[in-house]
Protein backbone atom coordinates (compact mmCIF):
# COMPACT_ATOMS: atom_id res chain seq x y z
CA UNK A 1 0.00 0.00 0.00
CA UNK A 2 1.20 3.51 -0.79
CA UNK A 3 0.89 6.21 1.88
CA UNK A 4 1.04 9.84 0.77
CA UNK A 5 2.53 12.69 2.84
CA UNK A 6 1.86 16.36 2.09
CA UNK A 7 3.94 19.44 2.87
CA UNK A 8 7.15 17.45 3.33
CA UNK A 9 10.22 19.66 3.71
CA UNK A 10 13.44 18.73 1.93
CA UNK A 11 15.33 18.27 5.22
CA UNK A 12 12.46 16.25 6.65
CA UNK A 13 12.02 13.79 3.78
CA UNK A 14 15.10 11.56 4.33
CA UNK A 15 14.28 11.21 8.03
CA UNK A 16 10.63 10.40 7.30
CA UNK A 17 11.52 7.89 4.58
CA UNK A 18 14.14 6.17 6.73
CA UNK A 19 11.66 5.80 9.59
CA UNK A 20 8.96 4.36 7.31
CA UNK A 21 11.42 1.98 5.64
CA UNK A 22 12.51 0.64 9.03
CA UNK A 23 8.94 0.21 10.23
CA UNK A 24 7.18 -1.10 7.17
CA UNK A 25 9.90 -2.39 4.82
CA UNK A 26 8.05 -3.55 1.68
CA UNK A 27 4.59 -3.59 3.26
CA UNK A 28 3.88 0.10 2.69
CA UNK A 29 5.51 2.66 0.41
CA UNK A 30 5.76 6.35 1.27
CA UNK A 31 5.09 9.03 -1.34
CA UNK A 32 6.37 12.44 -0.24
CA UNK A 33 4.94 15.61 -1.76
CA UNK A 34 6.13 19.16 -1.11
CA UNK A 35 2.75 20.62 -2.06
CA UNK A 36 0.22 21.36 0.65
CA UNK A 37 -3.14 19.70 0.99
CA UNK A 38 -6.16 21.85 0.16
CA UNK A 39 -9.23 21.71 -2.04
CA UNK A 40 -7.16 22.02 -5.22
CA UNK A 41 -4.63 19.33 -4.33
CA UNK A 42 -6.92 16.89 -2.50
CA UNK A 43 -7.65 14.83 -5.67
CA UNK A 44 -3.96 13.79 -5.70
CA UNK A 45 -4.75 11.61 -2.68
CA UNK A 46 -7.16 9.43 -4.67
CA UNK A 47 -6.54 5.75 -3.97
CA UNK A 48 -4.50 6.41 -0.81
CA UNK A 49 -6.01 4.88 2.30
CA UNK A 50 -3.69 6.87 4.61
CA UNK A 51 -2.76 10.54 4.26
CA UNK A 52 -0.09 12.33 6.30
CA UNK A 53 -0.51 16.08 6.77
CA UNK A 54 0.78 19.07 8.73
CA UNK A 55 -0.42 22.26 10.39
CA UNK A 56 -0.44 24.33 7.20
CA UNK A 57 -2.53 21.83 5.25
CA UNK A 58 -6.23 22.65 5.00
CA UNK A 59 -8.55 19.83 6.01
CA UNK A 60 -11.92 21.53 6.17
CA UNK A 61 -15.18 19.74 5.46
CA UNK A 62 -14.83 20.14 1.70
CA UNK A 63 -11.31 18.73 1.57
CA UNK A 64 -12.29 15.85 3.87
CA UNK A 65 -15.23 14.97 1.64
CA UNK A 66 -12.89 14.88 -1.37
CA UNK A 67 -10.43 12.67 0.50
CA UNK A 68 -13.16 10.30 1.67
CA UNK A 69 -14.61 10.06 -1.84
CA UNK A 70 -11.16 9.13 -3.13
CA UNK A 71 -10.78 6.26 -0.68
CA UNK A 72 -8.91 7.88 2.21
CA UNK A 73 -9.82 6.42 5.58
CA UNK A 74 -7.06 7.65 7.89
CA UNK A 75 -5.44 11.07 8.40
CA UNK A 76 -2.23 11.27 10.41
CA UNK A 77 -1.32 14.80 11.44
CA UNK A 78 2.46 15.25 11.79
CA UNK A 79 2.01 17.88 14.50
CA UNK A 80 0.55 18.51 17.92
CA UNK A 81 -1.99 21.13 16.89
CA UNK A 82 -5.00 20.13 14.80
CA UNK A 83 -7.05 23.32 14.46
CA UNK A 84 -6.66 22.93 10.68
CA UNK A 85 -8.80 19.76 10.71
CA UNK A 86 -12.60 19.74 10.90
CA UNK A 87 -12.95 16.87 13.37
CA UNK A 88 -16.74 16.96 13.30
CA UNK A 89 -16.76 16.47 9.53
CA UNK A 90 -14.12 13.74 9.85
CA UNK A 91 -16.33 11.86 12.28
CA UNK A 92 -19.37 12.19 10.06
CA UNK A 93 -17.35 10.83 7.12
CA UNK A 94 -16.04 7.88 9.14
CA UNK A 95 -12.42 9.01 8.96
CA UNK A 96 -9.83 8.14 11.58
CA UNK A 97 -7.71 11.13 12.64
CA UNK A 98 -4.60 11.01 14.83
CA UNK A 99 -1.96 13.53 15.81
CA UNK A 100 1.49 13.69 17.40
CA UNK A 101 0.69 14.70 20.95
CA UNK A 102 4.31 14.90 22.06
CA UNK A 103 7.75 15.57 20.64
CA UNK A 104 10.90 17.23 21.93
CA UNK A 105 9.76 20.21 24.02
CA UNK A 106 13.35 21.40 24.05
CA UNK A 107 13.27 22.13 20.32
CA UNK A 108 10.54 24.75 20.69
CA UNK A 109 11.64 26.10 24.08
CA UNK A 110 15.23 26.60 22.94
CA UNK A 111 14.09 28.33 19.75
CA UNK A 112 11.79 30.61 21.74
CA UNK A 113 14.81 31.65 23.73
CA UNK A 114 16.80 32.17 20.52
CA UNK A 115 14.09 34.61 19.40
CA UNK A 116 14.05 36.37 22.76
CA UNK A 117 17.82 36.83 22.83
CA UNK A 118 17.98 37.82 19.16
CA UNK A 119 15.52 40.69 19.57
CA UNK A 120 16.88 41.75 22.96
CA UNK A 121 20.50 41.86 21.79
CA UNK A 122 19.74 43.07 18.23
CA UNK A 123 21.50 40.07 16.73
CA UNK A 124 19.95 40.29 13.26
CA UNK A 125 20.79 43.97 12.86
CA UNK A 126 24.33 43.33 14.09
CA UNK A 127 24.81 40.44 11.64
CA UNK A 128 23.61 42.56 8.71
CA UNK A 129 26.03 45.31 9.68
CA UNK A 130 29.09 43.14 10.08
CA UNK A 131 28.46 41.46 6.72
CA UNK A 132 28.97 44.95 5.27
CA UNK A 133 32.02 45.51 7.53
CA UNK A 134 30.15 48.03 9.65
CA UNK A 135 31.34 47.33 13.18
CA UNK A 136 29.66 50.18 15.04
CA UNK A 137 27.75 49.43 18.23
CA UNK A 138 25.28 52.30 17.94
CA UNK A 139 21.72 51.02 18.36
CA UNK A 140 22.81 47.55 19.48
CA UNK A 141 22.70 47.95 23.25
CA UNK A 142 20.93 45.06 24.93
CA UNK A 143 20.05 44.47 28.54
CA UNK A 144 20.62 41.75 31.10
CA UNK A 145 17.77 39.30 31.53
CA UNK A 146 19.18 38.11 34.84
CA UNK A 147 17.00 39.42 37.65
CA UNK A 148 14.10 40.30 35.34
CA UNK A 149 10.71 38.62 35.16
CA UNK A 150 9.70 35.96 32.63
CA UNK A 151 5.99 35.40 32.10
CA UNK A 152 5.25 31.90 30.80
CA UNK A 153 1.80 31.59 29.26
CA UNK A 154 1.09 27.86 29.27
CA UNK A 155 3.19 25.60 31.49
CA UNK A 156 2.95 22.24 29.79
CA UNK A 157 6.05 20.40 28.59
CA UNK A 158 7.30 23.22 26.33
CA UNK A 159 6.45 25.99 28.78
CA UNK A 160 8.22 24.07 31.56
CA UNK A 161 11.34 23.64 29.39
CA UNK A 162 11.24 27.38 28.68
CA UNK A 163 10.86 28.12 32.40
CA UNK A 164 13.86 25.95 33.29
CA UNK A 165 16.02 27.97 30.89
CA UNK A 166 14.66 31.22 32.35
CA UNK A 167 15.49 29.91 35.82
CA UNK A 168 19.01 29.24 34.60
CA UNK A 169 19.27 32.89 33.55
CA UNK A 170 18.32 33.86 37.10
CA UNK A 171 14.92 35.25 36.19
CA UNK A 172 11.83 35.54 38.37
CA UNK A 173 9.05 33.30 37.03
CA UNK A 174 5.37 34.06 36.60
CA UNK A 175 3.00 31.49 35.11
CA UNK A 176 -0.52 31.40 33.75
CA UNK A 177 -2.37 28.17 33.05
CA UNK A 178 -5.55 26.30 33.88
CA UNK A 179 -3.62 24.15 36.38
CA UNK A 180 -0.39 24.68 38.26
CA UNK A 181 2.55 22.49 37.24
CA UNK A 182 4.53 21.09 40.20
CA UNK A 183 7.73 21.14 38.13
CA UNK A 184 7.31 24.87 37.57
CA UNK A 185 6.42 25.50 41.21
CA UNK A 186 9.67 23.76 42.14
CA UNK A 187 11.51 26.37 40.09
CA UNK A 188 9.93 29.12 42.16
CA UNK A 189 7.23 30.04 39.64
CA UNK A 190 4.30 32.04 40.97
CA UNK A 191 0.99 31.50 39.20
CA UNK A 192 -0.95 34.71 38.64
CA UNK A 193 -3.84 36.03 36.60
CA UNK A 194 -3.33 36.68 32.92
CA UNK A 195 -3.58 40.42 33.57
CA UNK A 196 -0.94 40.39 36.29
CA UNK A 197 1.43 38.35 34.15
CA UNK A 198 1.21 40.75 31.20
CA UNK A 199 1.60 43.75 33.49
CA UNK A 200 4.63 42.50 35.43
CA UNK A 201 6.65 40.43 32.95
CA UNK A 202 9.69 41.80 31.16
CA UNK A 203 9.46 38.85 28.78
CA UNK A 204 6.21 37.12 27.80
CA UNK A 205 6.46 33.78 25.97
CA UNK A 206 3.40 31.93 24.64
CA UNK A 207 3.10 28.15 24.98
CA UNK A 208 -0.62 27.35 24.83
CA UNK A 209 -2.56 25.59 22.06
CA UNK A 210 -4.88 27.52 19.76
CA UNK A 211 -8.50 27.00 20.76
CA UNK A 212 -11.58 29.19 20.84
CA UNK A 213 -10.66 30.19 24.39
CA UNK A 214 -7.11 31.20 23.46
CA UNK A 215 -7.76 32.83 20.07
CA UNK A 216 -6.35 36.38 20.28
CA UNK A 217 -5.30 35.76 23.86
CA UNK A 218 -2.85 38.61 23.28
CA UNK A 219 -5.32 41.29 22.26
CA UNK A 220 -5.33 45.09 22.57
CA UNK A 221 -6.15 45.10 26.32
CA UNK A 222 -3.41 42.54 27.04
CA UNK A 223 -0.86 44.48 25.02
CA UNK A 224 -1.87 47.70 26.78
CA UNK A 225 -0.97 46.05 30.09
CA UNK A 226 2.56 45.15 28.95
CA UNK A 227 5.55 47.30 29.84
CA UNK A 228 6.73 49.61 27.08
CA UNK A 229 10.10 47.84 27.06
CA UNK A 230 8.82 44.26 27.36
CA UNK A 231 9.69 41.41 25.00
CA UNK A 232 6.97 39.25 23.41
CA UNK A 233 7.72 35.82 21.92
CA UNK A 234 5.29 33.48 20.16
CA UNK A 235 6.50 30.04 19.08
CA UNK A 236 3.13 28.32 19.50
CA UNK A 237 0.29 29.35 17.14
CA UNK A 238 -0.17 32.57 15.23
CA UNK A 239 -3.81 32.98 16.19
CA UNK A 240 -2.86 33.58 19.83
CA UNK A 241 -1.95 37.17 18.90
CA UNK A 242 -4.26 39.78 17.41
CA UNK A 243 -1.96 41.03 14.66
CA UNK A 244 -3.81 44.31 14.16
CA UNK A 245 -3.54 45.09 17.87
CA UNK A 246 0.16 44.19 17.80
CA UNK A 247 0.75 46.51 14.83
CA UNK A 248 -1.01 49.35 16.65
CA UNK A 249 1.20 48.73 19.69
CA UNK A 250 4.38 48.75 17.61
CA UNK A 251 3.33 51.90 15.73
CA UNK A 252 2.93 53.59 19.11
CA UNK A 253 6.60 52.86 19.79
CA UNK A 254 5.89 50.29 22.49
CA UNK A 255 7.59 46.92 23.19
CA UNK A 256 11.34 46.46 23.13
CA UNK A 257 11.18 43.47 20.82
CA UNK A 258 8.86 40.87 19.32
CA UNK A 259 9.90 37.41 18.14
CA UNK A 260 7.34 35.53 16.04
CA UNK A 261 7.85 32.04 14.69
CA UNK A 262 4.16 31.83 13.79
CA UNK A 263 1.63 34.17 12.20
CA UNK A 264 -2.14 33.90 12.18
CA UNK A 265 -2.39 34.01 8.39
CA UNK A 266 0.70 31.90 7.70
CA UNK A 267 -1.09 29.19 5.68
CA UNK A 268 -0.18 29.65 2.05
CA UNK A 269 2.94 31.63 2.99
CA UNK A 270 5.12 29.78 5.47
CA UNK A 271 7.18 26.83 4.18
CA UNK A 272 7.00 28.32 0.66
CA UNK A 273 9.37 30.48 -1.41
CA UNK A 274 7.62 33.79 -2.00
CA UNK A 275 10.78 35.77 -2.73
CA UNK A 276 9.91 36.43 -6.38
CA UNK A 277 6.32 37.44 -5.67
CA UNK A 278 4.66 40.60 -4.44
CA UNK A 279 3.78 40.25 -0.77
CA UNK A 280 0.05 40.82 -0.73
CA UNK A 281 -0.37 40.21 2.99
CA UNK A 282 -0.15 43.81 4.16
CA UNK A 283 -0.08 42.98 7.86
CA UNK A 284 2.87 40.61 7.53
CA UNK A 285 4.65 43.10 5.28
CA UNK A 286 4.13 45.82 7.87
CA UNK A 287 5.45 43.60 10.66
CA UNK A 288 8.63 43.14 8.64
CA UNK A 289 9.23 46.91 8.58
CA UNK A 290 9.82 47.16 12.34
CA UNK A 291 13.48 46.72 13.21
CA UNK A 292 12.56 45.33 16.63
CA UNK A 293 10.46 42.51 15.16
CA UNK A 294 11.92 39.18 14.07
CA UNK A 295 9.72 36.81 12.06
CA UNK A 296 10.75 33.23 11.30
CA UNK A 297 8.81 30.64 9.34
CA UNK A 298 7.40 28.18 11.90
CA UNK A 299 10.73 26.43 12.43
CA UNK A 300 10.84 26.18 16.22
CA UNK A 301 10.02 22.45 16.11
CA UNK A 302 12.47 21.77 13.29
CA UNK A 303 15.33 19.83 14.88
CA UNK A 304 16.51 16.37 13.92
CA UNK A 305 15.43 14.99 17.27
CA UNK A 306 11.94 16.44 17.04
CA UNK A 307 11.40 15.39 13.41
CA UNK A 308 12.54 11.85 14.22
CA UNK A 309 10.11 11.72 17.15
CA UNK A 310 7.30 13.06 14.96
CA UNK A 311 8.04 10.39 12.35
CA UNK A 312 8.11 7.62 14.96
CA UNK A 313 4.81 8.71 16.51
CA UNK A 314 3.18 9.09 13.10
CA UNK A 315 4.21 5.51 12.27
CA UNK A 316 2.76 4.31 15.58
CA UNK A 317 -0.50 6.08 14.77
CA UNK A 318 -0.65 4.43 11.35
CA UNK A 319 0.08 1.03 12.91
CA UNK A 320 -2.73 1.61 15.42
CA UNK A 321 -5.08 2.34 12.55
CA UNK A 322 -4.13 -0.81 10.64
CA UNK A 323 -4.61 -2.85 13.84
CA UNK A 324 -7.98 -1.25 14.55
CA UNK A 325 -6.72 0.24 17.81
CA UNK A 326 -7.54 3.55 19.45
CA UNK A 327 -4.28 5.04 20.69
CA UNK A 328 -3.54 7.98 22.96
CA UNK A 329 -3.07 10.16 19.88
CA UNK A 330 -6.38 9.25 18.23
CA UNK A 331 -8.68 12.25 17.81
CA UNK A 332 -11.45 10.59 15.80
CA UNK A 333 -12.20 6.91 15.13
CA UNK A 334 -11.01 4.39 14.20
CA UNK A 335 -14.04 3.38 12.22
CA UNK A 336 -12.96 1.02 9.49
CA UNK A 337 -9.67 -0.65 8.70
CA UNK A 338 -8.48 -2.53 5.59
Catalytic residues: 237, 266
> Within 13 A of 91's CA, how many CA atoms are on the CB side?
6
Burial code (b: 16+ CB inside 10 Å, e: under 16) for 33-51 equals beebbbeebbebbeebbbb
**Element containing residue 74 per DSSP (H, E):** strand 74-77
Query: C-alpha angle with apex 158: 157 to 159, nearest 5 degrees?
Result: 95
| Total H helices, total E strands in the chain | 12, 13
* Cβ contact 149:131 at 8 Å: no
Separation between Cα atoms, residue 124 and residue 118, nearest integer Å: 7
DSSP string, 175-229: EE-SS--HHHHHTT-EE--HHHHHHH-SEEEE-----TTTTTSB-HHHHHHS-TT
Question: CA–CA distance from 173 to each of 89, 120, 159 (Å)?
Answer: 41, 18, 11
Helix ranges (H only) for the chain are 13-24, 61-69, 87-92, 105-120, 123-131, 157-168, 182-186, 194-200, 220-225, 243-251, 282-289, 304-322
CA nearest to 74, candidates 44, 50, 58: 50
Amino acid sequence: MEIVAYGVQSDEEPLLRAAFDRAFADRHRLRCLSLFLDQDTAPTADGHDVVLCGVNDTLDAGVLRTLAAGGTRMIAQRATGYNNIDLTAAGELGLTVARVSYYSPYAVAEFAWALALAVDRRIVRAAHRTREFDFRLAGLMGRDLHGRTAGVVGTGKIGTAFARIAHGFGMRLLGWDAAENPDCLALGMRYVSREELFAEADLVSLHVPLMDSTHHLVDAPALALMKDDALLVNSSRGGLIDTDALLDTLRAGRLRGVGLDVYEEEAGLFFLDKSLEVMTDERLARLMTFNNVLVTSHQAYFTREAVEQIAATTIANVEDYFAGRTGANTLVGPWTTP
